[in-house]
Chains A and B, each alone.
Chain A
Amino acid sequence: MSPSLESNLFVFALAAFLGYEVVRRVSPQLHTPLMSLTNAISAISVVGAIVVTGAGHNTTMVVVLGTIAVTASMINVVGGFLMTDRMLKMFKKRKSD
């Protein structure tokens, strides 16, 4: 097994476990914003799409696929964070807040 695959597997396992531990402590009230927030976070995949699109690939197909990928994941980034915040703003403790 190559060293990078090995460390990637470690990172994946630890991250999945961390995710489990952190998310199970999220109040059930916030499960909907949780879904939109985790979706925004996983849209970090835009970073990969940027590299694929911006690198010196010549084929039109790769550039087209990459551009669509950047668009799609960027929608998730912007839309995900905005929508999560919009929902969280509504959770108030007392009407005076």
Chain B
Amino acid sequence: MGCFLSITGVAAAAGRLVPHNATMPAYVIMIYLAAAMLFALSLKWLSSPKTARWGVLAGEIGMAAAIIATLFLPEVRHYDWITIAFLIAIMAAIPMARLIPMTAVPQQIALFHAFGALAAALVGTAEYYAHGSSLGTSTLIAIGFESLLGYLTFTGSLVAAGKLQEILPTQPMNYPGQNVLSISILAASVIAGAMVVIIPANPLVFPIFIALCLLFGVMLILPIGGGDMPTVIALLNSYAGLSASAMGFVLNNKLLIIGGALEGSSGFILAMIMCKAMNRSFINVLFGQVQAAKAAKSDDIYGGNIKSVNAEEVAAILDGARRVAIVPGYGLAVAQAQHAVGQLFELLESRSVDVQFGIHPVAGRMPGHMNVLLAEANIPYDHLMEMDRINPEFENMDVVIVNGANDVVNPDARDNPNSPIAGMPILNVDKAGTVIVIKRSLSPGFAGIPNPLFAAKNCLMYFADGKKAVLDIIAELEKL
């Protein structure tokens, strides 16, 4: 084995471009080193909203320095295509970043993942076609990883973006044998990749490999439902990073390895947090069938216990409240109600009511989505409380307003061991004095089960659109 590797190593050194780091001028290496450190600082400074924007600046400086230094490398001789690429990119990226509404951020980020993964996959492909079988085994293996991760994340992210934009169906799509099919395609991709490493000269192996990876990306993400998108987006974030890191191995560029690894571990952490917050494992999210509702039928739970209110009554209740919490969910984003909620916040604050927001980790379509929407509505971030911080406070709250959230406030997760969502951490809003749920109807959330909260003694239902309901409440409250 060692003999084989050293022979291929010699062939690699002879046949291919000398690794970039070896010919790089010292000043470029120093700039890359500084950029790597700036990237690490960038993420470190993201630890709090106070320092976060410095983090962005640090990242931008590191990136700019590294790009400029690269443009001056002796290997880079032709600038025409690079210039065109830069221009197209700038013209596309600026409107995208400036104009996308905050509610569409998850789709936009999925799209960014697709671009990043595509770039990695294409560079790997270009390297393969430029140097072919003169590449060493370890480089070919790196190209294999780069292409597998790159192409599958490319198509997978496009599918995810489609689901988030609701161009593709958001219901989980299950069909018999789906896991067998997905795993088989993955196995076939891995085998094709192995063929690329073993017989790189064969003209068929690489295109087949690419096709299988692209297909696997689709097959993996297509069946997953919209409610699981937070975990999926985080996972794809990680894979996009890992594909960039693999590019670093192929091109022997440590800055790429580092930049990719940072995103790789970040996405991985977020995916783990999402899974814990839904009390489901990775495997379950990716390959699990949606469990058929084992809970009781909704009539048994709701029958006769639903108390409906209108804006006037809600305002009267809020009039007497001193401590209020607002729990936003995906429905709020759909209704574009964040600005109305912001106005309600200001109105209540001006009446000396203490208002906090309870944000469940999986509320919205991606980690942290709710926070961004509420920040956009000018709600100060120190009023946005995470689940673990606000849960003990609910019993001291007079009123909790739930807008567009369902499963994350379902007490069955806590109390009913037979529920499909048993064990999932939730916001214990039922402990508060009064709970007002703003919802268009009694239709279930993504878990597809009835919510006993709605039938609870201290719960009132306000059946209306999330935005209109809040605006009406504001109007009524101003009269008091």
Which of chain B's residues have a CB closer than 8 A to the CB of A85?
53, 56
Residues from 35 to 65 in A contacting B, C-beta threshold 8 Å:
35-57, 59, 61-63, 65
A-B contact pairs, 19 of them (CB 8 A): A28-B386, A31-B270, A34-B46, A40-B59, A42-B244, A45-B119, A45-B123, A47-B70, A55-B17, A55-B75, A56-B77, A66-B126, A67-B84, A70-B85, A71-B88, A72-B118, A73-B116, A74-B90, A83-B97
Which of chain A's residues have a CB closer than 8 A to the CB of B369?
32
B39 and A47 contacting across the interface, CB-CB below 8 Å: no
Which of chain B's residues have a CB closer than 8 A to the CB of A7?
254
B76 and A44 contacting across the interface, CB-CB below 8 Å: no
- Residue of A with least CB distance to B117: A72
- Residue of B with least CB distance to A54: B76
Which of chain B's residues have a CB closer than 8 A to the CB of A17?
265
Output the least CB separation between A8 and chain B (Å).
6
Residue B256 is within 8 A (CB to CB) of chain A in the complex? yes
- Residue of A with least CB distance to B9: A2
Which of chain A's residues have a CB closer than 8 A to the CB of B381?
29, 91-93
Given A48-B256, A85-B53, A90-B372; 6 other pairs, CB 8 A cutoff:
A11-B254, A20-B269, A31-B270, A47-B66, A69-B122, A92-B378
Which of chain A's residues have a CB closer than 8 A to the CB of B89?
70-72, 74-75, 77-78
Residue among B86, B237, B253 making CB contact with A48, cutoff 8 Å = B253
B63 and A81 contacting across the interface, CB-CB below 8 Å: yes
Residue among A16, A72, A94 making CB contact with B119, cutoff 8 Å = A72
A59 to B81, CA, bound (A): 13
Interface residues of B, Cβ cutoff 8 Å to A: 5, 9, 17, 19-21, 35, 39-40, 42-44, 46-50, 52-53, 55-56, 59-60, 63, 66-67, 70-71, 73, 75-79, 81-82, 84-86, 88-90, 92-94, 96-98, 100, 102, 105, 108-109, 112-113, 115-116, 118-120, 122-123, 125-127, 129-130, 136, 138, 233-234, 237, 240-241, 244-245, 247-270, 273, 346, 359, 361, 366-369, 371-372, 375-376, 378, 380-382, 384, 386
Which of chain B's residues have a CB closer than 8 A to the CB of A12?
245, 248-249, 257, 261
- In the complex where A65-B125, A69-B118, A72-B115 touch, is A5 in contact with B138 (Cβ < 8 A)? yes
A26 and B372 contacting across the interface, CB-CB below 8 Å: no
B119 and A76 contacting across the interface, CB-CB below 8 Å: yes
Output the least CB separation between B250 and chain A (Å).
8
- In the complex where A38-B266, A40-B63, A79-B96 touch, is A65 in contact with B122 (Cβ < 8 A)? yes
- Residue of A with least CB distance to B71: A50
The 8 closest A-B pairs by CB, nearest first: A31-B368, A74-B89, A19-B265, A54-B76, A79-B93, A82-B97, A15-B261, A32-B368
A59 and B130 contacting across the interface, CB-CB below 8 Å: yes
A36 to B237, CA, bound (A): 9
Most buried by A among B17, B66, B81, B380: B81
A53 and B256 contacting across the interface, CB-CB below 8 Å: no
A41 to B56, CA, bound (A): 10
- Residue of A with least CB distance to B377: A90
B115 and A73 contacting across the interface, CB-CB below 8 Å: yes
B67 and A46 contacting across the interface, CB-CB below 8 Å: yes
Which of chain B's residues have a CB closer than 8 A to the CB of A87?
102, 105, 372, 375
A58 to B73, CA, bound (A): 18
Contact with B along A10-25 (1 / 0, CB 8 A): 0110011111101111
A66 to B53, CA, bound (A): 32
B244 and A45 contacting across the interface, CB-CB below 8 Å: yes
Which of chain A's residues have a CB closer than 8 A to the CB of B20?
51
Residue among A33, A48, A95 making CB contact with B372, cutoff 8 Å = A33
B262 and A41 contacting across the interface, CB-CB below 8 Å: yes
Output the least CB separation between B101 and chain A (Å).
11
A51 to B127, CA, bound (A): 11
B245 and A29 contacting across the interface, CB-CB below 8 Å: no
Residue among B84, B130, B367, B384 making CB contact with A35, cutoff 8 Å = B367
